[in-house]
Structure 1
Amino acid sequence: MPAAAIVDVSVAGRDRKSTSWAGTAASGQHSAEPRRPLRVVVVEDDAIIAMELEMMLQDLGVEVLGIATTAAEAIRLVEQHRPDCATMDINIRGERDGISAAIEIYELLGVRSIFATAYGNPETVKRAAPAHPIGWVKKPFEAEDLKSALRQVLKGN
């Protein structure tokens, strides 16, 4: 059984999901609505790191909709699947980096990112601000850090 139980809530007119990591709705009541996991697109160009992140997310009860290695792939996957969020590495393949992809994804589709990177210096954080990031998770990943960032997605922060 996944570590997270997902229940339906409606946020800003869009069907979104919320979780309590103990298996009940955030309000403390069980929902009769069908359950679905939080849906995430992973943007990471290192295959081993991408697989590790995918497994960690799945262990937390998250549905990984796809893995992108470039900004163009990331935008296409988010347009196609409309995830709840994306995990976004900054240094990815191609001419564009993860920050520019995250900004475009947010501006075009309203989908926010969790930056998953070793780069969290003030200049990088400032440059990423237009993407309205959910948070930052440092590499190497820790499950608790991912879980904390996912809670922010579910809270609508």
Structure 2
Amino acid sequence: MKLLIVEDDPLVGPAMKAVLEKAGYTVVGPLRDAPKAMRLAERERPDLALVDVLLAGGEDGVSLSRRLRAELGVPSLLVTGYEHHAEEVRDTALGFLHKPFAPQALLDAVGVVGEVMGGLRPSFVPRELELFPPSLSLHA
């Protein structure tokens, strides 16, 4: 699975990339802002984007997630350290991964989202992951 990481924290993004690559995922990014993320996503066509809700450079992660889905068909998992209302993003994201999270929770979350994208029902969901109901269509 090819993953795009969009995270403006200069420590968190590279750490996420290292954990995911070590586990065998192909990772593009991390990028810190939405315009660069869109350009890279157009070129690389990731299977899933891990998008921080708060980004550098103006556009927020929710807006980027909507654009990735609408323009490129790329689903997103939003990453956040803040409380957000899921109702606001159910139309655009597969769920939230809540910070802080341990490396294993990141791997578990990506694995679970991969199962959901493949039409499977996960048997385990890490507590840091808030999945949105299956009513979300994975196909735009």
Sort the TM-score into its range (normalised by shorter chain): 0.7 to 0.9
In the alignment, does 2:12 pair up with 1:52? no
* Pairwise CA RMSD: 1.6
Deviations 1:17-76 (A, max 9, x none): xxxxxxxxxxxxxxxxxxxxx111100111111111111111221111122111111111
Look up the match of 2:96. Answer: 136
Answer whether contact 1:135 1:149 (CA < 8 A) is retained. no
Look up the match of 1:8. Answer: none
2:11 partner SS: helix
Look up the match of 1:98. Answer: 61
Residues of 1 paired with 2:68 and 2:112: CA distance?
18
Structure 1 residue runs of 5 or longer lacking an equivalent are: 1-37
Structure 2 residue runs of 5 or longer lacking an equivalent are: 120-140
Match of residue 66, structure 1, among 29, 41, 46: 29
Q: CA deviation at 1:140?
A: 1.8
Answer whether contact 1:69 1:93 (CA < 8 A) is retained. yes
Q: CA deviation at 1:98?
A: 0.5
TM-score, normalised by the number of residues in structure 1: 0.68
Q: Which structure has the bigger radius of gyration?
A: 1
The percent identity for this pair of structures is: 30
Q: Residues 59 and 134 from structure 1, CA distance in 2 versus in 1: closer, same or farther, beyond 3 angstroms?
A: farther
Match of residue 145, structure 1, among 94, 105, 121: 105
